[in-house]
Amino acid sequence: MKEKTFISVVAYAHNSEKTIVEFLEKIYLFFSEKFDSFEIIVINDASTDKTLALIDKHKQNYSGKVTVLTTAWKHNRELAMLAGTEMAIGDFIYEIESTDLEFPIESLWEAYEKSGTGFDVVFASPNGKLSKSSKIFYKILSKFSYQKLELRTESFKLITRRALNSILKTKEKTRYRKIIYRFSGFPTTTIQFKPTKNIRSNMTLGEKIELAVGVLLTFSDIGLKLTLFLSILFLTISISIGIYTISIYLTEKSLIVAGWTTTMLFLSFSFSGIFLILTILGKYLTIILEETKDRPAYFIQSIRRIK
């Protein structure tokens, strides 16, 4: 017997012409067999290839279950997926990070069953080793994060409607769902699967660096600690210069130009105070900037239900 729960599937696609047809066929077949009611929302993140054309070409296979949301320009995965989850109406929402389908299709059902045991968010991660860059990034983020986190690369997530409604109310402009969902306070868990193919990211190096910097500054206090460290460093240098100035004044007084000691002491202690003040102001400015920005998180070019 099929489940009566209404399911939303939100999938990210960017230049996915090689995988989109097979992805939709398998996803549509799986949810048709398991659930009475479901919808599939494809986030077409400004693809420049035949992704959208291929969906149109095979539209007769999806019985009006597929909606394509096309962004006005490439927003990258986090903001694009936000647009999809805000549009989703299901009781449970699957967030699929790529159309490559590197996970066994059965793991979608495993995540649903796991959610039924009391978890509002279920992450699905490959059971292999993390790449060196991901391992380093997650380690730094966990060390400086406001909470201790055990992060892994994820291929999809399953989230309940009550959890998603609560999370969508947050004012976070820098989106990083794997942390936002864990910070939400709702019960979370992780299932692991054996990848069916090599998992590769379609993000460029520049996009990865931009995301990493934004996440570190938003979800950890590494920026504040770094500025505090620099302030202490330069404070130490300033004090050392002050001590050096006094020692020169006491030992080489006859060689010192009038006013030199006073000027050096004034500069050394003034710069110490400036760095401490900049640290405090930097923290306040960061908070104020995030609170006052009222720009839309994403821009949509078109929404089409494939019929």
CA pair distance 261, 33, nearest whole angstrom:
84
CA pair distance 70, 15, nearest whole angstrom:
12
The answer to whether residue 301 sits within a structural domain is: no
The answer to whether residue 243 sits within a structural domain is: yes
Whole-number pLDDT of residue 290: 58
Instruction: Give the HSE-up count for residue 121: Cα atoms under 13 Å, Cβ half-sphere.
Output: 20
Q: Are residues 59 and 156 in the same domain?
A: yes
Residue keyed to tokens 């009475």: 36
Given 220, 247, 273, the domain boundary residue is 220
Tokens linked to 94: 């699957």
Whole-number pLDDT of residue 173: 62
Helix (H, G, I), strand (E, B) or coil at 177: helix
* AA identity, residue 206: G
CA pair distance 34, 158, nearest whole angstrom:
15
Identify each DSSP E strand in 111-168 by its residue range.
121-126, 156-160
Hey, CA dihedral for 171, 175, 181, 183, is it positive or negative? negative
Tokens linked to 60: 């007769």
| Total structural domains within the chain | 2
Q: Are residues 155 and 253 in the same domain?
A: no
Q: Are residues 206 and 216 in the same domain?
A: yes
The answer to whether residue 299 sits within a structural domain is: no
Tokens linked to 129: 């080793």
In the beta sheet, which residues pair with residue 9?
A: 40, 94
Burial class (CB in 10 A: 0-12, 13-18, 19+), 288: exposed
The answer to whether residue 132 sits within a structural domain is: yes
Given 220, 238, 254, the domain boundary residue is 220
List CB contacts of 58: < 8 A, sequence separation 6 or more.
21, 24, 25
Degrees (nearest 5) of the Cα angle 204, 78, 35? Answer: 120
Whole-number pLDDT of residue 91: 96
Q: Are residues 262 and 187 in the same domain?
A: no
Whole-number pLDDT of residue 164: 93
The answer to whether residue 302 sits within a structural domain is: no
CA pair distance 160, 5, nearest whole angstrom:
11
Q: Are residues 94 and 167 in the same domain?
A: yes
CATH number at residue 106: 3.90.550.10
CA pair distance 161, 172, nearest whole angstrom:
19
Whole-number pLDDT of residue 259: 67
CA distances (Å), 232 to each of 143, 241, 243, 263, in order?
21, 14, 16, 22
Domain that holds residue 22: 3-220
The answer to whether residue 277 sits within a structural domain is: yes
Q: Are residues 119 and 13 in the same domain?
A: yes
CA pair distance 78, 176, nearest whole angstrom:
6
Mean pLDDT by 10 residues, the chain (307 residues): 93 94 95 95 94 91 90 89 93 94 94 95 86 75 70 89 88 74 86 83 71 72 72 76 76 67 69 70 66 58 71
For β-strands 66-71 and 35-44, DSSP reports them as: parallel
Whole-number pLDDT of residue 265: 66
Given 220, 255, 275, the domain boundary residue is 220
Whole-number pLDDT of residue 59: 85
Whole-number pLDDT of residue 45: 93
The answer to whether residue 59 sits within a structural domain is: yes
Whole-number pLDDT of residue 140: 75
CA pair distance 247, 261, nearest whole angstrom:
10
CA pair distance 137, 48, nearest whole angstrom:
30
